[in-house]
Chains A and B, each alone.
Chain A
């Protein structure tokens, strides 16, 4: 029963959503909206579970004086301090909002800016001419870089045209082929799940 119930619930919910997608019955649209709302509410409830997990992990770090336990202490103080402050002042409080904007936004931007350097290191490894594929990748990368820079057109007007052809024809065709394959694969996986053939997402082998 523990295994059958989620499979049946998944089947019913899945069929309702599929019917609501294709058939113009007002009742089904409402059911779909209700299911979407339930998903949203369960997501909100799960946030609390996330906080509990963070608390357990970092409390143990502090109790056992693991390496960098001070960082765990700072995390717990910041998390609960901000949470309790928000409970009393509400989400529109000026200080509540500015603490968030002054910390998460610049830190997020700093992490994001690392991408530029990581792109370079990934490209360096990928572009080493060890295989034919890597050599083609290098040639395509060079045309792409030169085609985007003014120096490319200065070297030859052929370079920006080649870059446009690569991105608009080759790249678009490849991306669409992958997208079609992905959609077909996702649908086949959903059929396996809806029919209860695949249950490993329930834990273990799903027997």
Chain B
């Protein structure tokens, strides 16, 4: 009966009276994960030893990239990706603070571009603060933190233009990218820039790996600020990430065993 009025969708009742259906397993996972992170932070704060973390080539190359730009007397470019105020944008902001500090110290021009107007004032403040902290507030040029356009390919065209006009020597692409990733990275390669990219979008990763000198893959983007700071408290949280990768691998193995035994008990438990 096409003319019949559909019954209004009633939301399913809460699981165990309080939980949003389908989130109980997630909730307990998040609680355990948070507790482990907090425990590692507390250990580090108490001065207890924090395990070593592996080397991340892309992050070790930051000094090399800025140093090369300094030697060549050409600018560094930084973009925080497509979106505003997401986890990856915050990670990009932290990386920018480090890159801006390096550029300020070496007196290297830093050009920051964004296609998101919301990001712009924060980016400007981060760069300004970096110049202030190294005692060179007069070297900060407000015009070098630029909002280009809110449209993806208008922004891309703007960045490509900057690469060619300013002869950028180092390009940092940190954050979430879409179709513009390869256009920007290839324009950077054509300009002869050393390029470091970090993107959590798995669809764009192959392009960035192919066209950039270094690529931060997956969680390496989020690890950057902790890794670069070398602060044991921050590094402690990275250990939790590695432990939980192993834990999830274990869950996958258990899930495979249960699935092959024809049991849905495990699946029902984690998706409750």
Contacts and interface: CB of A to CB of B under 8 A. Distances in A.
Contact of B146 (A57, A189, A190): A57
Contact of A197 (B84, B142, B233, B238): B233
Nearest to B126: A203
A115 B182 contact: yes
Interface stretch (B57-65, B150-158, B260-268): B150-158
A116 to B, nearest CB: 10
B19 A24 contact: yes
B101 A205 contact: yes
Interface residues of B, number: 84
Contact of A122 (B88, B142, B182): B182
Nearest to A179: B202
A121 B190 CA distance: 10
Interface stretch (A39-47, A81-89, A90-98, A156-164): A39-47
B241 interface: yes
B211 interface: yes
B14 A24 contact: yes
Contact of B221 (A43, A50, A185, A197): A185
For the complex of A and B, the 8 pairs showing the least CB-CB separation, nearest first, are A185-B219, A50-B117, A203-B129, A185-B222, A111-B153, A24-B14, A126-B210, A201-B93
Interface of B: 14, 18-21, 23, 26-27, 30, 33-34, 37-38, 41, 84-85, 87-88, 90-91, 93-94, 97-98, 101, 116-118, 120-122, 125-126, 128-130, 132-133, 142-143, 145-148, 150-154, 156-157, 165, 179, 182-183, 185-186, 189, 200, 202, 205, 207, 209-211, 217-223, 225-226, 229, 233-234, 237-238, 240-241, 244-245, 248
